[in-house]
Amino acid sequence: MELATDTHMTESSSSADHSVAIPAVDQGMSIRLAAVISVVSAIVVGGASYAVIAAGLSAGMTRLFALLALLAFVALVYGLIELSLAVIATSAERRRKDREVTERRQGDRARKPKR
């Protein structure tokens, strides 16, 4: 394996425009979808738990409702985790956009350096 010695890295000129917009990154699940998953899962957990505890069902149906409650609980936890991540991503995206606007300001409205 040979190294290519005929190519050299060169620095870009200092007059180049360095204010290139950073493309938006996929932030995952939306807040609305994560909230819907959480709410629907909570309703299913409550209904299935009630069916296991209160209803006089056969052993097979009780086990089926218990399994449904367990799976819905897992979906509820997943939805809540995704909801918290979506809120964090939304606030980070908002902060990034605010920073872009602040860096574009000129004159008296320009960003002052921190001391």
Three-state SS at 53 = helix
Whole-angstrom distance, CA of residue 91 vs CA of residue 99 = 12
8 pLDDT more than 60: no
CA distances from 9 to 12, 13, 79 (A): 10, 13, 47
Among 91, 93, 87, 82, CA closest to 34: 82
Confidence at 13, pLDDT banded by 50, 70, 90 = very low
Q: Which two tokens stand for residue 86?
A: 């979506």
Sequence-distant (≥ 6) Cβ neighbours of residue 101 within 8 angstroms: none
Confidence at 16, pLDDT banded by 50, 70, 90 = very low
- pLDDT tens-digit readout, 51-77: 999 878 899 999 999 999 999 999 999
30 pLDDT more than 50: yes
- pLDDT tens-digit readout, 98-113: 777 666 666 666 667 7
- pLDDT tens-digit readout, 35-53: 999 999 999 999 999 999 9
Q: Which residue has the higher pLDDT, 99 or 8?
A: 99
Mean pLDDT (the chain) is 78
- Is residue 43 within 8 Å of 81, Cβ to Cβ? no
Whole-angstrom distance, CA of residue 51 vs CA of residue 70 = 13
